[in-house]
Structure 1
Amino acid sequence: MVWLTSASCPVTARIARRFGLSEKTARNQHSAVFAKLRVSDRVQAALIARDAGFR
């Protein structure tokens, strides 16, 4: 769920706090999702999520 927050809350530290994670863990989660989606940034990931029906 961390990656879904990317579109509405782009600051990694805030995302980490929201989920009770360290900032490094949140960054690692983002990197893992980006690699699986074969994208390089949050905008591309958000576009894929939008196209898949996530809001």
Structure 2
Amino acid sequence: MPDIVWRAVAIGIGATVFMDVWAIFLNKAFGLPRPNWGLVGRWVRRLPE
């Protein structure tokens, strides 16, 4: 079971890094705005309420 947890954590970190690098690439190469994750953060923050 701990092996599955560590794999899930590694996949999550890897996906986050990939999304950040991809957003930076799109911004530099095509001038696209970077995603604003503030709305998602506020939504997750209010989930426990």
Do these two structures clear the TM 0.5 threshold for a shared fold by scoring above it? no
Relative to the length of structure 1, the TM-score reads: 0.32
By relative contact order (CA 8 Å, sep 6+), the higher-ranking structure is 1
Larger-Rg structure: 2
Structure with greater helix share of residues: 2
Relative to the length of structure 2, the TM-score reads: 0.36
